[in-house]
Amino acid sequence: MKEFLDFINEGYLSVITGNTRSINYHIKNRERDRAIISLALATGLRTMELANLELDDLNMRNGVIDVLGKGNQKDTLPFGPLAKEHLQAYLDIRTDRY
């Protein structure tokens, strides 16, 4: 998983050479993308569950996230240290960048 996330962060730039718009988009959003993918892989969240997350659902101190899942079931899911690292990196730049 770490190798894939590292590819998103740095390696993907070698794939999109020559396309300035894609390069700029990737550079602007790579921390966000890495946080989303890391959280999805760490928790098994569905796409819509990820899309519907709010910042208040995230508990960084305890390493858990509250999710409203299929059938409106509420659940609290743990996420590991790698997802926590990527989420924190995104949260650190979120306000300035977006």
Residues near 76 by Cβ (< 8 Å), separated by ≥ 6? 64, 65, 66, 67
Mean pLDDT throughout 37-61?
Answer: 95
**The pLDDT value given to residue 45:** 94
Query: If pLDDT is split at 50, 70 and 90, which confidence band does 71 have?
Result: confident
Cβ pair 52, 92 in contact under 8 A: no
Confirm if 93 and 84 have CB atoms less than 8 A apart: no
User: In angstroms, rounded to a whole number, what is the distance separating the alpha carbons of residues 98 and 40?
Assistant: 22
Cβ partners under 8 Å of residue 55, min gap 6:
none
The pTM for the full model equals: 0.85
Mean pLDDT score, 2-30: 87
- pLDDT at residue 1 above 90? no
